[in-house]
Amino acid sequence: MTEFPHHYAVKVSGQQQGSVAVEAPNLPLINSAPPVQFGGPGDQWSPETLLMAAIADCLILTFRAIARVSKLDWHELICDAEGTLDRVDGVTRFTQVVLHARLRVPAGVDVAKAQRLLDKAEQTCLVTNSLTAECRLEASVQMAPQ
């Protein structure tokens, strides 16, 4: 890892109508549009869905790093993120994010340790730590059959 601070840059461009192009160096271009709730087509990524994806992605990547350092063996982590967008004091913002995480571990793994590491990943995720919305993790650890 490089020393802090880290800097990240994107270039986003759009016109009066149509998709918005989201670009970053060395990454594929993606198109975005408003979600259906804001009159969009509902068939493209939106800022709202990109934020939920960033939260779930960050949880998994954070867990991966913590599990590696803690020498926890695991098979798969699936995370669904559900955000609630609301209007509070005249401001539209996300008020709550619930992460539903399902961790699958090999037989014999300490399930309590795996749960603690999931909780630690949620507490140290840089994306959720950057938000004002309440973030809650609902996690389960499932042991693979022998």
Please give the average per-residue pLDDT across 125-146, as a whole number: 94
Superfamily for domain range 47-143: K homology (KH) domain (3.30.300.20)
What is the gyration radius of the CA atoms in the chain, in angstroms? 18
pLDDT band, residue 58 (cuts 50/70/90)? very high
The confidence score (pLDDT) of residue 100 equals 98
Distance CA 24, CA 8 (A): 9
Please give the average per-residue pLDDT across 9-29, as a whole number: 97
Please give the average per-residue pLDDT across 118-130, as a whole number: 97
Kindly state the percentage of the chain with pLDDT values over 90: 97
Please give the average per-residue pLDDT across 67-96, as a whole number: 98
Distance CA 29, CA 73 (A): 34
> What ranges in the chain are assigned the alpha helix state H?
47-69, 111-124
Residue 146 pLDDT exceeds 80:
no
State pTM to two decimals: 0.94
Distance CA 51, CA 94 (A): 10
Q: Which of 80, 109, 106, 85 is nearest to 95 (CA)?
A: 85
